[in-house]
Chain A
């Protein structure tokens, strides 16, 4: 813990002495965006380990046909909790945690706009997460009525109705996410306000780091897309507790309406998860290629387009539901369209590397793997937009492969890259490059061995969310391969945990700017003092530190 105390002692620490209760108290009452950011990421990583274990148990069961390691009930709870945890308790807190930490520093501010609201957002998230996991303990009662939710992470109606999900397990899912949703919207409001009103002098919108632009887009999407989920969940609450009929098909309600409302949230949600990954690599790739990002205005425009278009594609999750040909075609069109700005960004990143002097430090390794894996994910996404093909592979392991290529091959890889990149800033110490390489290669191998064959399994008929499968379908071999990949991923994560533990104790000192980077967070100490900057900076271009290092050829005139 000692590395995280800033060089200038806070008054509280000075007064209270160095005992652990005092330090714990500091963290619990903090409204400092950097501390809250660290708390978000640490909690998110802890849930990542838990959800990873849930997935590992599932893959153990599916390694061969007819295995009965866990009962059907337990398996169904596992995939529900795995998905719910990864989306709401890992992805969201980590991406917003990073934004918490970085956005004020990158815009030259001393904190977020509403520090206490920030703290509320974190504690709402943590409470929601603990409430969800309390379901494993709470909710005893009738057979099948207690324990963790088992309705899938998107909880389709009417499976979630009282008639088909008795007891309280579904209510844990509903309420915990509802609570967390309020916290997420609060954080998004905080980020938007900070970005629009607290940039330092000279930093016009056109001079913000791409990371800040993309988090602005993400926050805008959050403000518009999270409330529909809350609305649907309130409706589900009313159905389950007060006998309302929103999704009660026996009473005239519509099961499809849940899907529309859920995916109206759900699709922007996956972009809310992925765009921060784009934001990470938009900072990492230029620095390690030693070149300015190619086409900054276009990357901004593409990000805005993605933000807007992501709200128009939701029913591509519903092509098999029977919406009719006109609607199917319309959503196919919008879904294919969103591939264009997404592809543009990939081209911009590659063009940045082109002509550079690429240094393959660990952050860059993860960013490069991201490029290939996300390209694959985007292309399978376009395939899924071809509605007749979608009719074959939706709700199959092909879709599972697609979204894991997005969220693991894309998001998790970029999160690891971001951790290796900004860990020195947060803690003042460098992670080991050697262990980083081991982490990277084990993870790249494990990830692809697990998720690449899943495309094929979907195409040969294996649906998702099944706790076992018959032996006569020809699925055995590839399921075994898929499960073996888990071992490599687990080893990679173990190496990562060891790397972090060692670095915290005796990592090499990082200094202010270990990567020779160009954005404002590198202009202050590592870790930064509570007030971020001794003097609030004034900037004249998109790369203020480049201007300082190369005063003869600043960026401004070129932009």
Chain B
């Protein structure tokens, strides 16, 4: 691990993991403690499509980074575009779920402890997805404009590490919110 970028990105991931851990702890601590409804098992349904898309996007981003390492800017751009689209589907799913929860179920961040912990944890994750998508979209544009070159392979790999981290966090959030919590 002798490259500056790698060490830096690992440190960033550790810091972010520490940030998320606290929200996860709060979520677990407050399970079952809401004074009023709605309650998780009444209103939550497993976001299957979004999860499949997000986790697949880890595969596509890895393929994109590898393509660039092997010298193919065009293929990298293509894989990253797919990644961005998959991520966008995930976000759209989150948006749809939130819309349903707010409009139909009457669950907001101030409704009860479930609302508070749910929106903050899922929202924190979603904000990190947004940042990742912005980065990946930028790289896709650079690939298309040919500003991106094989010498940038390590930088793209580091962005893919961030993306893998975001996906890893989703696995944790999924387990805590939709499996343990329901």
Q: Do chains A and B touch in the complex (CB under 8 A)?
A: yes
Complex Cα gap A243–B14 (Å): 30
Complex Cα gap A232–B120 (Å): 12
Among B65-73, B88-96, B105-113, B156-164, the stretch that binds chain A is: B105-113
Among residues of B, the one whose C-beta sits closest to the C-beta of A244 is B116
B113's contact among A242, A251, A261, by CB below 8 Å, is which?
Answer: A251
Which of chain A's residues have a CB closer than 8 A to the CB of B2? Answer: 197
Among A89-97, A221-229, A349-357, the stretch that binds chain B is: A221-229
Q: Which of B8-23 contact A (CB under 8 A)?
A: 8, 11-12, 14-16, 18-19, 21-23
User: Are A227 and B19 interface neighbours, CB within 8 A?
Assistant: yes
Q: Which of A249-265 contact B (CB under 8 A)?
A: 251-254, 257, 261, 264
User: Are A238 and B120 interface neighbours, CB within 8 A?
Assistant: yes
Among residues of B, the one whose C-beta sits closest to the C-beta of A117 is B8
Which of chain A's residues have a CB closer than 8 A to the CB of B33? Answer: 252
B138 CB–A CB distance under 8 Å? no
> In the complex, what's the smallest C-beta–C-beta distance from A217 to chain B, in angstroms?
14
B22's contact among A114, A223, A227, A252, by CB below 8 Å, is which?
Answer: A227
Complex Cα gap A488–B29 (Å): 50
Which of chain B's residues have a CB closer than 8 A to the CB of A223? Answer: 11, 14-15, 18
In the complex where A231-B19, A232-B22, A252-B34 touch, is A242 in contact with B1 (Cβ < 8 A)?
no
In the complex where A223-B14, A252-B33 touch, is A246 in contact with B26 (Cβ < 8 A)?
yes
Which of chain B's residues have a CB closer than 8 A to the CB of A225? Answer: 18
Complex Cα gap A253–B3 (Å): 44
User: Are B109 and A238 interface neighbours, CB within 8 A?
Assistant: yes
B46 CB–A CB distance under 8 Å? no
Q: Which of B51-107 contact A (CB under 8 A)?
A: none
User: Are A244 and B4 interface neighbours, CB within 8 A?
Assistant: no
A113 CB–B CB distance under 8 Å? yes
User: Are B110 and A231 interface neighbours, CB within 8 A?
Assistant: no
Which of chain B's residues have a CB closer than 8 A to the CB of A238? Answer: 109, 116, 120
Q: Is the interface of A mostly helix, strand, loop or mixed?
A: helix
Among residues of A, the one whose C-beta sits closest to the C-beta of B29 is A257
Among A60-68, A184-192, A276-284, the stretch that binds chain B is: A184-192
Which of chain A's residues have a CB closer than 8 A to the CB of B14? Answer: 223-224
Which of chain B's residues have a CB closer than 8 A to the CB of A194? Answer: 4
A245 CB–B CB distance under 8 Å? yes
User: Are B34 and A244 interface neighbours, CB within 8 A?
Assistant: no
Q: Is the interface of B mostly helix, strand, loop or mixed?
A: helix
Which of chain B's residues have a CB closer than 8 A to the CB of A226? Answer: 15, 18
Complex Cα gap A235–B23 (Å): 9
A244's contact among B3, B16, B35, B120, by CB below 8 Å, is which?
Answer: B120
A330 CB–B CB distance under 8 Å? no
User: Are A113 and B11 interface neighbours, CB within 8 A?
Assistant: no
In the complex where A197-B7, A227-B22 touch, is A252 in contact with B15 (Cβ < 8 A)?
no
Which of chain B's residues have a CB closer than 8 A to the CB of A230? Answer: 19
User: Are B120 and A234 interface neighbours, CB within 8 A?
Assistant: yes
User: Are A244 and B19 interface neighbours, CB within 8 A?
Assistant: no
Complex Cα gap A62–B161 (Å): 55
A246's contact among B19, B108, B116, by CB below 8 Å, is which?
Answer: B116
A196 CB–B CB distance under 8 Å? yes
Q: How many A-B residue pairs have CB under 8 A?
A: 94
Q: Which of A103-134 contact B (CB under 8 A)?
A: 113-114
User: Are A193 and B110 interface neighbours, CB within 8 A?
Assistant: no
Among residues of B, the one whose C-beta sits closest to the C-beta of A226 is B15
Which of chain B's residues have a CB closer than 8 A to the CB of A386? Answer: none
A87 CB–B CB distance under 8 Å? no
A193's contact among B4, B15, B21, by CB below 8 Å, is which?
Answer: B4
Among residues of B, the one whose C-beta sits closest to the C-beta of A243 is B110
User: Are A224 and B18 interface neighbours, CB within 8 A?
Assistant: yes
Which of chain B's residues have a CB closer than 8 A to the CB of A232? Answer: 22
In the complex where A193-B7, A238-B109, A245-B112 touch, is A227 in contact with B18 (Cβ < 8 A)?
yes
Among residues of B, the one whose C-beta sits closest to the C-beta of A189 is B11
User: Are B18 and A228 interface neighbours, CB within 8 A?
Assistant: yes
> In the complex, what's the smallest C-beta–C-beta distance from B124 to chain A, in angstroms?
8
In the complex where A227-B19, A231-B19, A252-B35 touch, is A243 in contact with B8 (Cβ < 8 A)?
no
Which of chain B's residues have a CB closer than 8 A to the CB of A242? Answer: 109-110
Complex Cα gap A113–B3 (Å): 10
Among residues of A, the one whose C-beta sits closest to the C-beta of B8 is A193
> In the complex, what's the smallest C-beta–C-beta distance from B26 to chain A, in angstroms?
6
Complex Cα gap A198–B4 (Å): 8
A189's contact among B12, B22, B29, by CB below 8 Å, is which?
Answer: B12
User: Are B15 and A197 interface neighbours, CB within 8 A?
Assistant: no
Which of chain B's residues have a CB closer than 8 A to the CB of A251? Answer: 35, 112-113
Which of chain B's residues have a CB closer than 8 A to the CB of A192? Answer: 7, 11
> In the complex, what's the smallest C-beta–C-beta distance from A178 to chain B, in angstroms?
12
User: Are B3 and A197 interface neighbours, CB within 8 A?
Assistant: yes
Which of chain A's residues have a CB closer than 8 A to the CB of B34? Answer: 252
Complex Cα gap A230–B29 (Å): 19
Which of chain B's residues have a CB closer than 8 A to the CB of A252? Answer: 30, 33-35, 112-113
Complex Cα gap A114–B109 (Å): 38
> In the complex, what's the smallest C-beta–C-beta distance from A438 to chain B, in angstroms?
43
Complex Cα gap A228–B110 (Å): 22
B110's contact among A113, A234, A244, A254, by CB below 8 Å, is which?
Answer: A244
> In the complex, what's the smallest C-beta–C-beta distance from B126 to chain A, in angstroms?
14
> In the complex, what's the smallest C-beta–C-beta distance from B174 to chain A, in angstroms?
20
A245's contact among B23, B113, B124, by CB below 8 Å, is which?
Answer: B113
Most buried by A among B4, B12, B15, B16: B15
Among residues of B, the one whose C-beta sits closest to the C-beta of A239 is B116
Complex Cα gap A65–B15 (Å): 47
Complex Cα gap A114–B9 (Å): 12
Complex Cα gap A226–B22 (Å): 11
Among residues of A, the one whose C-beta sits closest to the C-beta of B7 is A193
Complex Cα gap A233–B103 (Å): 28
Q: Beyond A246-B120, A253-B116: 5 further Cβ-contacts under 8 Å?
A: A114-B4, A193-B11, A197-B7, A224-B18, A246-B26
The 8 closest A-B pairs by CB, nearest first: A243-B110, A231-B22, A227-B19, A227-B18, A244-B116, A189-B11, A193-B7, A113-B4
Q: List, sorted by A's number, 18 A–B pairs whose CB atoms are closer than 8 Å.
A: A113-B4, A189-B11, A189-B12, A190-B8, A192-B7, A193-B4, A193-B7, A197-B3, A224-B14, A224-B18, A227-B15, A231-B19, A232-B22, A238-B120, A244-B115, A244-B116, A251-B113, A261-B22
